[in-house]
Amino acid sequence: MKKCLGLNLCLVWSLSATLTLGATRAPVTNAKGLVASSSPIASEVGAQILRQGGTAADAAVAVGFALAVTWPSAGNIGGGGFALIHADGGPDRFIDYRETAPAAAGPDFYLNAKGELDASASRVGYRASGVPGTVAGLALLHKRWGKLPWKTLLEPARKLAESGFIVDQALAESLQHSQELLEGNAETRKIFFKKGHVIGRGERLIQKDLARSIAALERGPEAFYEGSVGKAIIADIQKNRGVLSAKDLSSYKVVEREPLRRKWRDFEVVTAPPPSSGGAVLLAILGMLEKDNLEAMGSGSADYVHLLTETMKKAFADRSTWFGDPTFVSNPIDKLLDPVYLAKRRSEISMTAAAHDIKPGELPGEKPDTTHFTIRDSHGMTISNTYTLNGSYGTGIVAKGTGILLNNEMDDFTSKIGASNMFGLTQGKRNLIAPGKRPLSSMTPTFVYRGKDLILALGAPGGPTIINSVAQTLLNRLVFHMDIQQAADAPRFHHQWMPDKLLYEPFGLNPDTKKALEARGQIFRDEARTFGDVEALAWDDELRLWTGASDSRNGGAVAAE
Ligand code: GLY
């Protein structure tokens, strides 16, 4: 019954009875295609390609190049990544366009004559780059699943680079955060600085050299591996005592792999295989939780946070030892994901005491960066793509005259057993450097099926936090039935076994929960930062439509076809 005690009260009553808006934005929904990415401009580029009759693969190529212009900290031409593809008429495919180690690099590449590690050399400078795979990866997506001409897909990125675009808050903050790195290289400084200051919000970012490189690539991807763009990159690297050679570039190969696929409760999760550790670690975390009544514990409860944290520690402990490029080393995935093994690992977890068989280490101070986009077209083709330069803006070096930032992916290898990389990850023998080898990754482009139906496609950036961002978003959606925007926005936490610290987002744990977790022995890293930037699409049973979410932590957006 509606009763008005004066105009205002009556209004409030009727509003609360009709509005369904929550604490986060409503997801974007559309009967046709959707594009979720870290950059509103790039998402719109993808939606325009869909409107022109392009497939999700066409849109992925266009978004991949557009992000290299509008989200240069991670969107790239000079990096690498992974794409997971669902297309009618065939099983899901996994396209591995991860960077490879140059032929001149080996296990001692970053060690001096005394065997001491020069940790900075795998992160900054011309020796930090792996052979880029992005152009070859996007070209394969186009060749296998695209419909529109290649040039049509690159033209929006070329125009954005040529005419520039207005820098928004997210990009301004990202440039500000990395300004020291960007200032260190004259070519990079020329692009991202104006009159002595890093380009800020509301200013126009123009990238003429990048526009010229994209124009050359419009004639065909060979321009990168054998033509003018590649030659310019190699000339600059070699002039500066890097080792990447023309032969490294011309012999780069994309690898098509079987994704990992496992049942979880009533669902099937399809995700990244090695050389990413992401899928296996995600499936291990989920597998350990298979029989737990998470619904009864409740999202954000001390029991839930504690249990999930303990499973993260166990799965990341295995990550440190057992994974590497499958072309070079074995990855005992079946053993690590064996339900009996995972049940045993789960049985070792105490609900009252945190495990601490852990060596100390430090979490990264640097902002790890990578970027993810998810695209679905009106015919159901869906692509979940994560690609990266590794750290924000990679090496911070733009190869002279190209406008292309060089990756620092070599830091994802084990540079020395026992030493930690920029993400604080300590890795094993299987991930030592070898010529042509791919460094171990955490990137986790993922699909979830219910029966035969795809119901969720997602991924995130953030080094090792990627895996836990994907795990928590997936659990929020499937277990706690949050809509996809709520699932992406809900506060997250992260544990990677070593260092033995539980990172949580500002206001992500209430003081009572934190105390309860401390009483069980969890050690916290009190650091005021968020992590991850989930870009996800999900089927909504009530709306009978696909819905999309771009994480509120960053400035991304979902665009509708
Ligand atoms: N470069 C971050 C990752 O691949 O995990």
- Which H helix or E strand runs over 386? strand 382-388
Query: In angstroms, how far is CA 140 from the centroid of its own chain?
Result: 20
- 351 assigned to some structural domain: yes
Global pTM value = 0.94
Residue located via tokens 């065909």: 220
- 383 assigned to some structural domain: no
Separation of CA 444 and ligand 1 centre (Å): 9
Q: Identify the pLDDT of residue 19.
A: 56
257 CB contacts (<8 Å, ≥6 apart)? 94, 95, 96, 273, 326
- 231 assigned to some structural domain: no
Q: Write out the E strands in 43-182.
A: 80-86, 93-97, 165-166
Domain that holds residue 336: 261-368+443-542
Assess whether the C-beta atom of 412 lies below 6 angstroms from ligand 1.
Answer: yes
Nearest CA to ligand 1 atom 4: 441
- 297 assigned to some structural domain: yes
Q: Identify the pLDDT of residue 78.
A: 98
Report d(CA 94, CA 82) in Å as an integer.
7
Burial class (CB in 10 A: 0-12, 13-18, 19+), 439: buried
- 510 assigned to some structural domain: yes
The dihedral over CA atoms of 41, 133, 469, 360, expressed in degrees to the nearest 10, equals -130
Query: In angstroms, how far is CA 30 from the centroid of its own chain?
Result: 24
Q: In 3-state terms, what secondary structure has residue 96?
A: strand
- Which H helix or E strand runs over 159? helix 150-163
Pocket test for ligand 1, best of 82, 393, 412 (most atoms within 8 A of CB): 412
Separation of CA 528 and ligand 1 centre (Å): 22
Report d(CA 46, CA 60) in Å as an integer.
7
**Residue 184 backbone phi and psi in degrees, to 5:** -70, -15
- 384 assigned to some structural domain: no
- Provide the pairing of β-strand 34-37 with 371-376: antiparallel
- Which atom of ligand 1 has the smallest separation from the CA of 388? 1
Report d(CA 536, CA 181) in Å as an integer.
31
- 301 assigned to some structural domain: yes
Q: What is the DSSP letter of 464?
A: T
Separation of CA 278 and ligand 1 centre (Å): 9
Assess whether the C-beta atom of 370 lies below 6 angstroms from ligand 1.
Answer: yes
pLDDT digits over 525-544, tens only? 878 889 999 999 999 999 99
Burial class (CB in 10 A: 0-12, 13-18, 19+), 392: buried
Least Cα distance to 359 among 159, 501, 531, 152 occurs for: 501
Residue located via tokens 């042509």: 436
Report d(CA 420, CA 369) in Å as an integer.
17
First to last CA, the chain: 42
Residues in the chain, total:
561
The dihedral over CA atoms of 96, 36, 531, 276, expressed in degrees to the nearest 10, equals -10
Helix-, strand-, coil-residue percentages of the chain, each rounded to 5: 35, 20, 45
Q: How many domains does the chain have?
A: 1
Assess whether the C-beta atom of 469 lies below 6 angstroms from ligand 1.
Answer: no
Assess whether the C-beta atom of 234 lies below 6 angstroms from ligand 1.
Answer: no
Order of strands across the sheet that contains 255-257:
255-257, 93-97, 80-86, 382-388, 371-376, 34-37, 557-560
Separation of CA 442 and ligand 1 centre (Å): 5
Assess whether the C-beta atom of 408 lies below 6 angstroms from ligand 1.
Answer: no
- Which atom of ligand 1 has the smallest separation from the CA of 277? 5
Positive/negative CA dihedral, 302, 303, 304, 307: positive
Pick out the chain residues at pLDDT < 70: 1-22, 358-368
Angle between helix axes 208-218 and 56-70 (nearest 10 degrees) is: 160
Active site residues: 370
Do the Cβ atoms of 448 and 269 come closer than 8 Å?
yes
We report the CATH number of the domain holding residue 326 as 1.10.246.130
Least Cα distance to 244 among 365, 381, 129 occurs for: 129
Pocket test for ligand 1, best of 387, 388, 533 (most atoms within 8 A of CB): 388
- 517 assigned to some structural domain: yes
Report d(CA 548, CA 36) in Å as an integer.
7
